[in-house]
A = this chain, B = another copy of it.
Amino acid sequence: MINIALLGFGNIGSGTVEVLTENRIQIERYVGCPVNIKYILDRRDFPDSPWKNRIIRNFDIILNDPEIKIVAEMLGGSHPAYEYTKAALMAGKHVVTPNKEVVAKFGAELLDIAAKNGVRYLFEGSVGGGIPIIRPLINDLAANGIISISGILNGTTNYILTRMGRDNIGYSEALGEAQALGYAEANPADDVSGADAARKIVILAALAFGKLVNPDTIHTEGITGITQEDIKTAAGFGCSIKLIAHTELVDGRVLAMVAPHFVGPENPLFGVNDVFNGILVAGDLIGRVMFYGPGAGRLPTASAVVADIADIAVNIGSSARKLHWDPAKRDEVADFGNYSCRFCFIFSDVPGSVDMLGRSFGSLGNVLREEGRIAFISEPMTEKEAGEKAAASGVSFIKRFRVL
């Protein structure tokens, strides 16, 4: 029997209890022995729960119980999740979590502490909810040099953009719906600002390139400024607008960013709609593979948490490979100005605008003129060039979108 402790009896925590109970036989067959929930840490009382006698409020009980081999941290937020994780690892307990905030900020340090203490720190649920992505990236693509990862990593914003694109409604209405359906939090700031996706992409970047970038420092654009006109412009080019989190190496340095992109139908992410997530990985051997599924939710996320628990349980005592990330130093992070991609530029359509833009950008290719706006898709250029050319054109610049 393996004894575990759960930190947090909220949405994911109770989902994990449900999975460990309902699918007990399946899990026991995989692990080879029963997995016993010995403690559930929560500040609240659950007088009606069948688990009420496992619920404790004092984390030290877990820390000091040598029977507890695995701790599943599902508190959410950075504190005290980080402190509890650190203490558990230092006490020689394995830790699993879907907490992207902690992994994105403190992952390098926590992996280091885990390695030093001969235990593991797993976080499959921190990106893509129940979608298998982290273990496949580490193990199945082990022989590949990763070229880039582009993902739709936030279900709430994908739902909003899908509704705006498909059903012709505005941003506020779509957000209201997402909230009514329980996809978006009452305070959806982390979703719509791109902050949630930023945390996830730095985790994927660290897995791909070994360097953990501070998620607060990467270029992050959300979806709050996207209008119906933008959606129409995208459609005019056969594209839809998706909030894309992207990472690649630029001049050998890690680039990670989040921004709305135009995505064309030839890209597998084009078909990722509603609350679903999709993660497109380009490797030097496999070409492109995509992982698709529900990026959040109680049971999908619990599925990932329990997979981590099972992975540890089945490999306990074996010298599993240690994951190591370095915190990215300043000169290991790419200058965003050097990042290069195609852009859809949108300017005010004034007399002579095509000529003026042509002088600045060269051939504009297919030009879309609608409602006083003129839009075209450029050849690849750096962020710096994109800004300079737009300013030099003399035409009033409205906005630009990156094109995936």
Contacts and interface: CB of A to CB of B under 8 A. Distances in A.
Interface in A296-329: 297, 299-300, 302-304, 306-307, 310-311, 314-315, 317-321
Contact of A293 (B143, B287, B294): B287
A358 interface: no
Nearest to A15: B285
Contact of A314 (B144, B297, B321): B321
A141 B285 contact: no
Contact of A285 (B130, B284, B310): B130
A293 B288 contact: yes
A142 B307 contact: yes
Given A286-B300, A303-B285, A140 B144 contact: no
A23 B284 contact: yes
B293 A289 contact: yes
A132 B136 contact: yes
Contacts of A132: 132, 136, 139-141, 289
A310 B130 contact: no
Interface string A264-297: 0000101100000000000111111111111001
A143 B268 CA distance: 28
A373 to B, nearest CB: 29
A319 B286 CA distance: 29
B285 A142 contact: no
Contact of A307 (B32, B124, B143): B143
A286 B270 contact: no
Given A143-B303, A289-B291, 17 more contacts: A23-B284, A26-B143, A130-B289, A132-B132, A135-B136, A135-B139, A135-B140, A139-B311, A140-B307, A142-B307, A143-B302, A268-B271, A285-B302, A286-B299, A286-B303, A290-B293, A318-B320
